[in-house]
Amino acid sequence: MWEHDLGIWSENFADFPRPEQVEVLKAAQDAVCQARKGWMTEEAVRRGAHQLLSIAGMLGFTMASKRFRDIEQSTQIDQAVCRAFEEMLVAFEAELECLVAWIDSD
């Protein structure tokens, strides 16, 4: 679902040893997990979206970062936005799993 910019990933993490790359991704997965566990209140959604837009951008998921930014800056966080945020979390979590598998396979 989310395109991954390998150039950004490489620029930020190519020099890291593989175990450290996996640790970075596990930390990102933990952030997604924490966002999914929280109540989907307006404040929780904004806080989670803010944290994840930075993480997604740093890892090379530029479209995900933009979508998280759009949610963070939404004028109103209603039930539809909360559902969209939850769906984004599930999709982003799946992409992180794929990236971890890719790193582990190298």
pTM of the model: 0.88
Which pLDDT score is estimated for 3? 86
Digit-coded pLDDT (tens) for 24-43 = 999 999 999 988 887 788 88
Which single residue is written with the structure tokens 């939404």?
A: 74
Which pLDDT score is estimated for 1? 59
The candidate with the shortest Cα–Cα distance to 36, out of 75, 79, 92, is 92
Which pLDDT score is estimated for 43? 87
Neighbour-count burial of 28, counting CB atoms closer than 10 A to its CB (0-12 exposed, 13-18 middle, 19+ buried): buried
Task: Please identify every stretch of the chain with a pLDDT value under 50, giving residue numbers as ranges.
Answer: none
Domain edges within the chain? 24-105
